[in-house]
């Protein structure tokens, strides 16, 4: 007879599935590592088992003990299954932005769930981190696995997810894409794969309202980057110990809406009923793939969980409409804006060595209010007319200065399939335009005027 001793013996060895429709026009092969085939329907089953078994080996968890964890739901599910198989109790703290489905599932598995406010600082005694730590201190014979800083998280993926991907792709993987929350999935998997192929490109998916992308690019933990967002399971307002930035080559941020719409597309077009952060991972992966993937490349995208967790959110049309995610006018994209120009002239730029006076003449001649600054083929800065006006009022001789001395940061590059409402959220008083690179590698600019036209058509 062939059977498993318990539910936890079915964890791992999830399939790679080739994507065929959402990847239309993309070179190379894009494969989804579909983690909802785990018994708890998520990638977190892997780390739950590893954290508990490591705690048992180290003598920190004894028979009849209690597992206490702060979770977005999926880790709790994995821990609950492990606890059932091994005879432990569970108490989980969750933030109030988590879906009711996740909370209901945890309670159905016999766990006690404590719901905590989202919009408080991590060290606030009401946060779900702090409440979990306090309960651990108060309850005898309990452990607080702390998936954020427990390196068993990373070790689980180094031991299982990485080897599975390497074996199933026969070592042909060139790009790894995954969302970054605790960091264990992407960093453990990336570490294993990079040891075997140092040229592997690892792309982390972040969300707006999270600190990861800016910290990777600047080394600065910027609290101004932190603000509420809806997507569950990725992004953080802390730097977990499991996030090894050396294992992640670059980050791409994805909006709540683009992630939600992408998840729904995956269900309709690929038959994969995936979770919200899976939509983030796919959207970011496709955005990167359109610009960079080559014919022989093999990209693997880790899809962490199942759509049943989000039936009352992204798979609920009423909820989507209430959040403005289904408004038809917002389905226009950067691609649509570019097409509507009917063969407009190539991007107008000014060289960083040109003078301010020359740049002003360019602005006047073209009838535009901002200019990207180039250094050869690279965009290195930006200028806008209001900044130049204020500068010349204060110092008329500034017109002879080189552009490089007064330019602002370059306009942000965005994906060509970003929706108009997402683009609108990225343009503000500090970032007055956006840049888009099309399939022919030509760069286009999108301004506030372009967005107004798109929204009123």
Domain of 410: which CATH number? 3.10.580.10
Degrees, nearest 5: CA angle 241-242-244: 90
312 and 386 together in one domain: no
Active site residue 429: no
C-alpha dist (Å) from residue 37 to 246, 267, 352: 29, 15, 53
183 and 319 together in one domain: yes
How do residues 371-393 score in pLDDT, each as one tens digit? Answer: 899 888 888 888 888 778 878 88
Band (pLDDT 50/70/90 cuts) for residue 310 is very high
Distance, in Å, from the CA atom of 339 to the CA atom of 126, rounded to the nearest integer, reads 50
Q: What is the average pLDDT across 168-188? A: 98
Predicted pLDDT of residue 457: 64
The reply to whether 359 falls in a domain is: yes
The reply to whether 1 falls in a domain is: no
The reply to whether 360 falls in a domain is: yes
289 and 428 together in one domain: no
**DSSP code per residue over 264-278:** HHHHHHH---B-HHH
Q: How many domains does the chain fold into?
A: 3
Predicted pLDDT of residue 348: 87
245 and 179 together in one domain: yes
268 and 341 together in one domain: no
Band (pLDDT 50/70/90 cuts) for residue 16 is very high
373 and 296 together in one domain: no
The reply to whether 269 falls in a domain is: yes
Domain holding 157, by residue range, is 7-42+152-326
How do residues 215-241 score in pLDDT, each as one tens digit? Answer: 999 999 998 899 889 998 899 999 999
Distance, in Å, from the CA atom of 282 to the CA atom of 363, rounded to the nearest integer, reads 38
**DSSP code per residue over 140-204:** TTEE---TTT-THHHHHHHHTHHHHHHHHTTT---EEEEE-SSSHHHHHHHHHHHHH-TT-EEEE
Predicted pLDDT of residue 27: 92
Distance, in Å, from the CA atom of 25 to the CA atom of 428, rounded to the nearest integer, reads 32
The most confident of the ranges 191-200, 224-233, 330-339, 370-379 is 191-200
The most confident of the ranges 68-82, 245-259, 312-326, 421-435 is 245-259
The reply to whether 56 falls in a domain is: yes
342 and 287 together in one domain: no
Query: Of 89, 111, 143, which marks where a domain is finished?
Result: 143
The reply to whether 346 falls in a domain is: yes
258 and 376 together in one domain: no
Q: What is the average pLDDT across 81-93? A: 95
Query: Of 326, 343, 373, which marks where a domain is finished?
Result: 326
How do residues 287-307 score in pLDDT, each as one tens digit? Answer: 999 999 999 999 999 999 999
Query: Of 326, 345, 373, which marks where a domain is finished?
Result: 326
179: domain CATH number?
Answer: 3.40.50.1100
Q: Is-contact 81 40, C-beta < 8 A?
A: yes
Residue 132 predicted with pLDDT over 50: yes
Collect all residues with Cβ–Cβ distance below 8 Å to 433 and sequence separation of at least 6.
370, 372, 382, 411, 427, 445, 446, 447, 448
> Which pair of structure tokens corresponds to residue 277?
């952060």
159 and 231 together in one domain: yes
Catalytic residue among 2, 18, 44, 361: 44
257 and 373 together in one domain: no
pTM higher than 0.75: no
How do residues 434-454 score in pLDDT, each as one tens digit? Answer: 888 887 778 888 888 888 777
Between helix 44-57 and helix 152-159 the angle, nearest 10°, is: 120
Distance, in Å, from the CA atom of 408 to the CA atom of 245, rounded to the nearest integer, reads 27
177 and 191 together in one domain: yes
119 and 266 together in one domain: no
């Amino acid at each position: 007879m062939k059977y498993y001793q318990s539910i936890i013996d079915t964890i791992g060895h999830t399939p790679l599935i080739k994507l065929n429709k959402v990847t239309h026009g993309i070179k190379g092969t894009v494969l989804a590592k579909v983690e909802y085939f785990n018994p708890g329907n998520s990638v977190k089953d892997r780390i739950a088992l590893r954290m508990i078994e490591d705690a048992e080996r180290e003598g920190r968890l004894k028979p009849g003990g209690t597992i206490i964890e702060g979770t977005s739901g999926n880790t709790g599910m994995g821990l609950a299954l492990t606890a059932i198989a091994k005879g432990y109790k569970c108490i989980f703290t969750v933030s109030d932005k988590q879906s009711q489905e996740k909370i209901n599932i945890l309670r159905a598995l016999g766990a006690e769930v404590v719901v905590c406010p989202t919009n408080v600082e991590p060290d606030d005694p009401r946060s779900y981190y702090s409440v979990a730590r306090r309960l651990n201190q108060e309850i005898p014979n309990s452990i607080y696995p702390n998936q954020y800083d427990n390196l068993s998280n990373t070790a689980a993926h180094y031991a299982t997810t990485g080897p599975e991907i390497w074996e199933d792709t026969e070592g042909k993987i060139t790009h790894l894409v995954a969302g970054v929350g605790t960091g264990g999935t992407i960093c453990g998997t990336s570490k294993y794969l990079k040891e075997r192929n140092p040229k592997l490109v690892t792309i982390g998916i972040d969300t707006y309202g999270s600190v990861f992308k800016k910290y990777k690019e600047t080394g600065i933990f910027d609290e101004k980057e932190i603000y509420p967002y809806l997507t569950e399971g990725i992004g953080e307002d802390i730097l977990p110990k499991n996030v090894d930035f050396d294992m992640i080559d670059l980050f791409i941020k994805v909006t709540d809406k683009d992630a939600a719409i992408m998840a729904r597309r995956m269900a309709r077009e690929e038959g994969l009923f995936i979770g919200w952060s899976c939509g983030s991972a796919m959207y970011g992966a496709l955005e990167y793939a359109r610009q960079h993937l080559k014919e022989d490349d093999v990209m693997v995208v880790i899809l962490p969980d199942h759509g049943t967790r989000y039936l009352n959110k992204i798979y609920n049309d009423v909820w989507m409409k209430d959040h403005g995610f289904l408004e038809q006018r917002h389905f226009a994209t950067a691609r649509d804006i570019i097409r509507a120009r009917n063969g407009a002239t190539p991007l107008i730029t000014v060289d960083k060595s040109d003078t301010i006076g020359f740049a002003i003449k360019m602005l006047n001649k073209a009838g535009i209010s901002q200019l990207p600054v180039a250094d050869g083929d690279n965009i290195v800065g930006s200028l806008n007319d209001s900044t130049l006006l204020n500068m010349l009022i204060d110092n008329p001789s500034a017109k002879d200065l080189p552009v490089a001395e007064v330019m602002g940061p370059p306009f942000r590059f965005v994906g060509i399939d970003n929706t108009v409402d997402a683009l609108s959220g990225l343009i503000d008083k500090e970032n007055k335009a956006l840049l888009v690179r099309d399939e022919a590698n030509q760069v286009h600019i999108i301004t506030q005027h372009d967005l107004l036209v798109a929204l009123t058509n």
